[in-house]
């Protein structure tokens, strides 16, 4: 997935530096920790969030050291939440590769996540060229943790509303996209209005991204997504397509939803029911609404080459089939 | 244990404010998280670390808001590591009360720890009156995480040296005592020499504290410690008394140490072997060495009423039988 930023060498180069910076930061006596972090960095993630931080930084006075540090913080925070999510989900695979907890055990995974959190804050604390205080960043971080907890709490609940779902993914996913862009903008000296616009863009991109992710969990090719089809269902996480289908035809699901292991056939049956009851179609519509808002927001940014890149990248990532 | 600071109302009052501040910070929509944090705060811990932060702050220009914020950070960080340690240890009880993970499940416990980490950094980031950058604090925090991992890694290893053990508890315990005192001193404007002396005091107190804790794990009254006797042994954590006894008479332990569950009788047999082979006695000696260094350090501080309090509190905590 290195190719994701390859068409934009100016950003891609910085993204590679961010990867190297995270690896440098991870150096420590404990080789399992160090190697796990290297593996995470090199596991082929798109590096969307740090790429966005670099992009937004280009709208102000770009300073490489600062952009690299901020991009690293955003990605390390993301990695920490992924590692802990895998612990909670008991996940075997992530991006088609074995998870840290399946390789080194849950205990290690808990500490590796903690260590990554600490590295984030260490990097934030030691980046001398930061202009603003880190108050806003650290507040967002608590909200992201709360989003994860909300997801945990709403498992197997058929009565959560679409509003609840949107609020949950806003905390769990969209806030970090917002932060990635906002922090790049505000720290490179963009004015408040532009920075807030970046926040908004991140929100809309993040919402669309997560809804599409939740759709692909049901309809995607597991070879491409690297996850089993219906993984969320298996975990009791009821996402937008199911919630919409449930709202349209609750009775249809009465017999099929349960709080135990599903067979592959049962999963496919539920997915068919979701499709029949408009869950996928309507979810795509909602995702498109967020995408369109993001595109509109992007066009309100100052016109420059980075705006064009942001537009293309956003279109690219929101049309993904994996 | 409220009584721990009760003889020193000037400090005790601030410690109570720190408790209230943590509870205020923990307020959030998720009532399980909020209540868990309230329970942790009110579970009767001695609040040693935040008390030390307040005490050290009194050596400089005392500013209440700042001292409360810093004390809260130190205690919330401590709480986060405790909650995650209980996840790793699968612990049922902590201070005689049910642990978060035994009450709300491991998943919740992972996120509550994460949330506490984020609250720490949020508080550090939003304390406007901080004079220094937070670089040193956040570096220590990563080292503490590494200390926990080292403990995890050295489980069931009979060949770890006493030096390894001392290094491990230095990271796991002593660094946070050092930070608690140092951060109070440096942020209230104490000079570098005094602040470094506080770091040293924290180190020696922390080392003595942990060694005594490890001795009490073997010899303590479980009604007082709130933990089962030999809990470390059960977890495969080989502490100083065992390591010393092993060094003195390795053969004696060949048949009794194993990597599976022990019966109560087996635990008592191992404890007897440790005693017979000088493990307890020599450990007490080493603990006393650290205590005496701490007392000596304290006497090098500027003479004032807070120095007397620090001396008394330190004597009190290092002579504990629980």
pLDDT mean across residues, chain B:
88
Cβ of residue B121 closer than 8 Å to a chain A Cβ: yes
Residue B33 to residue A146, Cβ atoms within 8 A:
yes
Check if B292 contacts A (Cβ < 8 Å): no
Kindly identify which residue of chain B lies nearest to residue A132, measuring between CA atoms: B125
Q: Do B124 and A119 touch (CB under 8 A)?
A: no
Question: Which of A112-126, B21-35, B281-295 comes out lowest in average pLDDT?
Answer: A112-126
The answer to whether residue A7 neighbours chain B at the CB level (below 8 Å) is no
List the structure tokens of B8.
Answer: 């020193």
Asked whether the predicted pLDDT for residue B2 surpasses 60, the reply is: no
Q: Per-residue pLDDT for B288 more than 60?
A: yes
H-type helices in chain A, by residue range?
A: 9-26, 31-41, 48-57, 64-89, 100-104, 106-126, 135-153, 162-169, 175-187, 192-219, 222-225, 231-234, 240-248, 250-254, 264-276, 279-299, 305-318
Complete DSSP assignment for B15-79: HHHHHHHHHHHT--S-HHHHHHHHHHHTS----HHHHHHHHHHTTS---HHHHHHHHHHHHHHHH
Whether the pLDDT of residue A130 is over 70: the answer is no
Q: Which of A27, A104, A107, A153 to mutate to test the interface with B (most CBs of B within 10 A)?
A: A107
Residue A255: predicted pLDDT: 87
Name which of B81, B118, B137 is nearest A141 (Cβ-Cβ). B118
What's the pLDDT at B227?
A: 67
Select from B80, B148, B232, B238 the least CA-distant residue to A142. B80
Optimal mutation site among A129, A149, A168, interface B, most CBs of chain B within 10 A: A149
Contact by Cβ (8 Å): B113, B87: yes
Q: Report the candidate in A201, A213, A229, A154 with the shortest Cα–Cα distance to residue A301.
A: A201
Give me the mean pLDDT over the B135-159 stretch. Answer: 76
CB contact under 8 A, B150 and A107: no
* Number of Cα atoms under 13 Å in the Cβ half of residue B67: 28
Q: Of A167, A292, A184, whose CA–CA distance to A240 is shortest? A: A167
- The three-point CA angle B178-B183-B186 to 5° equals 115
DSSP string covering B88-108:
HHT-SEETTEE-HHHHH-HHH
Residues A270, A233 contacting (CB under 8 angstroms):
yes
A77 or A93: which leads in pLDDT: A77
CA-CA distances (angstroms) from residue B198 to A152, A181, B75, B289?
42, 41, 18, 18
pLDDT band at B315 (very low <50, low <70, confident <90, very high): very high
- Locate B78 and state its tokens: 């401590």
Contacts of B35 in chain A (CB under 8 A): none
Q: Kindly indicate the confidence band of residue A93, based on its pLDDT and cuts at 50, 70 and 90.
A: confident
Q: What is the pLDDT of residues A208-267, one digit of tens each?
A: 999 999 999 999 876 666 667 888 898 889 999 999 999 999 999 988 998 888 888 999
What secondary structure does DSSP assign to B264-281, as a single string? HHHHHHHHHHHHHTTHHH
Tell me how close the Cα of A175 comes to any Cα of chain B, in angstroms. 14
pLDDT of residue A135: 57
Tell me what pLDDT residue A85 has.
Answer: 85
Mean pLDDT over the full length of chain A? 88
Choose the closest CB to B30 out of A122, A137, A146: A146
pLDDT grade for B135, boundaries at 50, 70 and 90: low
- Residue B70 belongs to what domain range? 2-318
Nearest CA in chain B to A138: B122
d(CA B71, CA B57) in angstroms, rounded, equals: 10
- Contact between chains at B138 and A145 (C-beta distance less than 8 A): no
Pick B139 or A176 by higher pLDDT. Answer: A176
Closest chain B CA to residue A118: B142
Q: Write down the pLDDT at residue B45.
A: 84
Alpha carbon distance B258, B156 (integer Å): 8
Provide the token pair at A274: 């979701």
Segment 14-73 of chain B within 8 Å of chain A by CB: 28-30, 32-33
Pairwise CA distance, residues B208 & B177, whole Å: 11
Check residue B305 and give its pLDDT.
95
Q: Which residue of A has its CA nearest to B87?
A: A107
Q: Are A88 and B108 in contact (CB under 8 A)?
A: no
Please report, rounded to a whole number, the percentage of residues in chain A having pLDDT higher than 70: 93
Label residue B102 by pLDDT band (50, 70, 90).
confident
Q: What is the pLDDT of residue B87?
A: 83
For residues A181-209, average pLDDT? 96
| Per-residue model confidence (pLDDT) at position B130 | 64
Task: Chain B: give the shortest CA distance to residue A150, in Å.
Answer: 8
> Element (H or E) spanning A3, and its range?
none
Q: Which two tokens stand for residue A50?
A: 């740090």
| pLDDT for residue A136 | 60
pLDDT of B148: 76
Residue B119 in contact with partner chain A when CB distance is under 8 A: yes
CA-wise closest residue to B240 among B272, B208, B267, B192: B208
Tokens for B217, please give them.
């794990």
Unique residue bearing structure tokens 């600071």: B5
pLDDT at A229 (0 to 100):
81
**What is the band of B90 on the pLDDT scale with cuts at 50, 70, 90?**
confident
Q: Does the pLDDT value for residue A30 go beyond 90?
A: no
Beta-carbon neighbour count of residue B278 at 10 Å? Answer: 16
Contacts of A128 in chain B (CB under 8 A): 133
- Retrieve residue B94's tokens: 């902590």
**Chain A interface disruption, residue of B129, B138, B236, most A CBs within 10 A:** B138
The total domain count for chain A is 1
Dist. CA A187–CA B267, nearest whole Å: 58
Rounded mean pLDDT, A281-308 = 97
Residue A249: which CATH number? Answer: 1.10.600.10
Q: Which of B28, B122, B144 is closest, CB to CB, to A138?
A: B122
Q: How far apart are CA A30 and CA A34, in angstroms?
A: 6
Contacts of residue A152, defined as CB under 8 A and 6 or more positions apart, other chains included, come to A88, B107, B108, B111
Query: Tens of pLDDT along B263-283?
Result: 889 999 999 999 999 999 999
pLDDT (0 to 100) of residue A322: 46
Partner-chain contact A113 B114, CB within 8 Å: yes
Q: What pLDDT shows up at residue B322?
A: 46
In this prediction, residue A124 has a pLDDT band, given cuts at 50, 70 and 90, of confident
Q: How far is CA B58 from the centre of its chain?
A: 22
Nearest to A125 among B122, B126, B134 (CB): B134
Q: Does B111 touch chain A (CB under 8 A)?
A: yes
Nearest chain A alpha carbon to B127: A135
Residue B11 reports pLDDT greater than 50:
yes
**DSSP structure class, residue A255:** T
Residue A94 φ/ψ, nearest 5 degrees: -145, 125
**Backbone dihedral region for residue A155 (phi beyond 0: left; psi -120 to 50: alpha; all else: beta):** beta
Residue A122 has pLDDT above 60, yes or no: yes
If contacts are CB pairs under 8 Å, which of residues 161-200 in chain A contact chain B?
Answer: none
Closest residue on chain B to A86 (Cα): B107
d(CA B185, CA B197): 10
pLDDT tens track for B213-265 = 999 999 987 666 666 788 889 888 999 999 999 999 999 998 899 888 888 89
User: Do the Cβ atoms of A55 and A62 come closer than 8 Å?
Assistant: no
* Nearest-CB residue to B118 (from A115, A128, A138): A138
ipTM above 0.95, yes or no: no
């Amino acid at each position: 997935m290195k190719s994701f930023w390859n068409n934009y060498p100016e950003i891609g180069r910085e993204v590679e530096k961010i990867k190297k910076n995270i690896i440098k930061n991870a150096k420590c006596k404990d080789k399992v920790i160090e190697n796990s972090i290297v593996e995470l960095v090199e596991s082929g993630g798109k590096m969307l969030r740090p790429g966005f931080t670099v992009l937004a930084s280009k709208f102000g006075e770009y300073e490489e050291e600062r952009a690299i540090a901020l991009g690293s913080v955003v990605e390390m925070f993301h990695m920490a939440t992924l590692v802990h999510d895998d612990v909670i989900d008991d996940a075997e695979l992530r991006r088609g590769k074995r998870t840290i907890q399946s390789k080194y055990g849950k205990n290690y995974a808990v500490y590796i996540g903690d260590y990554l959190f600490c590295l984030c804050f260490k990097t934030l604390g030691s980046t001398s060229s930061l202009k603003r205080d880190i108050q806003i960043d650290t507040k967002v971080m608590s909200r992201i943790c709360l989003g994860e907890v909300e997801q945990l709490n709403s498992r197997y609940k058929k009565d959560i509303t679409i509003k609840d779902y949107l609020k949950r993914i806003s905390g769990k996913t969209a806030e970090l996209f917002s932060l990635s862009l906002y922090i790049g903008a505000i720290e490179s000296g963009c004015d408040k209005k532009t920075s807030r616009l970046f926040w908004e863009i991140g929100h809309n991109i993040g919402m669309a991204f997560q809804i599409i992710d939740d759709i692909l969990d049901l309809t995607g090719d597991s070879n491409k997504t690297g996850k089993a089809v219906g993984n969320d269902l298996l975990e009791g996480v009821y996402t937008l397509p199911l919630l919409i289908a449930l709202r349209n035809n609750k009775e249809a699901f009465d017999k099929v939803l349960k709080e135990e292991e599903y067979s592959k056939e049962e999963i496919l049956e539920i997915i068919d029911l979701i499709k029949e009851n408009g869950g996928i179609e309507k979810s795509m519509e909602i995702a498109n609404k967020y995408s369109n808002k993001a595109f509109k927001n992007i066009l309100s940014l100052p016109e420059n080459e980075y705006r064009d890149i942001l537009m293309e990248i956003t279109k690219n990532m929101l049309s993904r089939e994996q």
